[in-house]
Amino acid sequence: MSLRDQDEDEVVDAEIVDDEGALALVDDQPVRLLVDHNTVLYPGQELPTTADRPRHRKRDLYVSPETAAALQGSDPTKTGPMKAFTAWCKQHGRVAVPCTTATYTDYSQHLMSRGLKVSTIKNYMSLIKTAMPPGKKPDNSLYLRLLANYRKNNKRAMRTRRAFPIRLPYLIPMMEKAEADGRPAGLRDAAMFAFGYRFLGRSVEDANLEIEDLTFIDGGVLVWLPEDKTHDEEQNLVLRDRPDLQLVPRLTRWLDYLRSQGITSGPVFRHVLKNGLVATEETRSKTATSRGLHLRGQTVNERVKFWFGTAGLVTDGRHVSSQGIRAGAATDLAQNGATDDELERAGRWRPGSRVPREVYVRPAQAERNDPFARVPVHASTGDAKAAT
């Protein structure tokens, strides 16, 4: 008879402690002592035995439907890296969950053979290990040994490829093009880009913004941020508007459009259907993703690329992505004299992070203070002969 067939109050005879222990007698009945080398008893305490173990009932083994739904919604086996790992295991006749240490190590070598960045490999392998059941996680010591050699022999794998910084001269044409399109998605995107620039937000932080998080103040917007990548505590951030950015008018136009459809709470930047209606709980099935009504970070990325191209803009060879808006704001600040500390606070980098200083401030200072700029420009030989 299965646990599901048993009465709700029937005692389930389940041993929670996996320990051999020694045998003893209690009321002339043999019981097993639940002791090992870590057991600590106070004077006068009796030796614990299996007779003292909890008597669990069926209700002790099941979580509630709400808890089950929450756990299933955050299932670590549903991540992209875990899906790729499962497919690789199937291709090679291996068991994915729980995987052996040998399978885990072999897969790390597979990722390295693809020439992936060290940071990407570490992220993938961490997610895969997290997805394994408790007590059955693979040993990562051999994988880390391989990674150390990979790091040593593949210096280019350590290189971080930076997104093209979408500074104001690029951002403003993108927003104007989006608004001139005349469709609701254009209004949303223009507001989202203006907010992302002034907020110096990561794309998922922009997409997580909710209407309740915004308070319009004189000359700007107050943003309540429950947490971010580097801060667990809540923050209240004042974003002052600029005449060129037009953050307040653009946000107001988009929120007015949401209000015209009866939307006054929930995600600010959400899906827009082809008929112009904004996604709601009732239309959610048409735009269903793991993030519900919130835009995915990838969607924000796609919209940035779309309007960058539509505005006829070109880069210096670096790739265009939503990260470029954050990078553009940081670059504009650095080029105009912002200090390491000012950038760190504006972009909410981790205290002491090297990114503001090494990626933005130092290059800007080097550009302004290029010692070769003091060297006179000399004419070519041909020009000199012509002058004589």
Q: What is the pLDDT of residue 4?
A: 43
Q: Supply the DSSP symbol for 272.
A: B
Give the CATH superfamily of 168-366: Intergrase catalytic core (1.10.443.10)
- Which residue reads 């907010």 in tokens? 195
The structure tokens listed for 280 are: 């709601």
- 329: how many CB neighbours lie within 10 A of its CB? 26
Q: Delimit the CATH 1.10.443.10 region(s) of the chain.
A: 168-366
Q: Among residues 167, 173, 166, 183, which one has the least CA distance to residue 312?
A: 173
Q: Strand pairing partners for 11?
A: 57
Q: Residue 359: what residue type?
A: V
Q: What is the pLDDT of residue 216?
A: 95
Average pLDDT per block of 10 residues along the chain, 388 residues long:
47 43 60 84 87 82 85 75 94 96 97 89 93 92 94 73 89 96 92 94 87 93 82 84 95 95 91 84 58 83 95 91 91 89 87 82 80 84 59
The structure tokens listed for 220 are: 């700007």
Q: What is the pLDDT of residue 176?
A: 96
Q: Among residues 123, 116, 107, which one has the least CA distance to residue 159?
A: 116
Q: What is the pLDDT of residue 279?
A: 79
Question: What are the strands of the beta sheet with 220-225, ordered from one edge?
Answer: 214-217, 220-225, 235-240
What single string gives the DSSP state of each residue in 209-266? -BGGGEEEETTEEEEEES--SS--S-EEEEEE--TTT-HHHHHHHHHHHHHHTT--SS
Distance CA 301, CA 68 (A): 32
Q: What is the pLDDT of residue 36?
A: 83
Buried b (16+ CB within 10 A) or exposed e, 18-42: eeebeeeeeeeeebbbbbeeeeeee
CATH number listed for the domain at residues 75-155: 1.10.150.130
Q: Delimit the CATH 1.10.150.130 region(s) of the chain.
A: 75-155
C-alpha atoms less than 13 angstroms from C-alpha of 192 in its C-beta half-sphere: 33
Q: What is the pLDDT of residue 56?
A: 81
Q: Among residues 278, 261, 281, 262, which one has the least CA distance to residue 270?
A: 278
- Positive or negative: CA dihedral 343, 349, 354, 360: negative
The structure tokens listed for 332 are: 């504009």
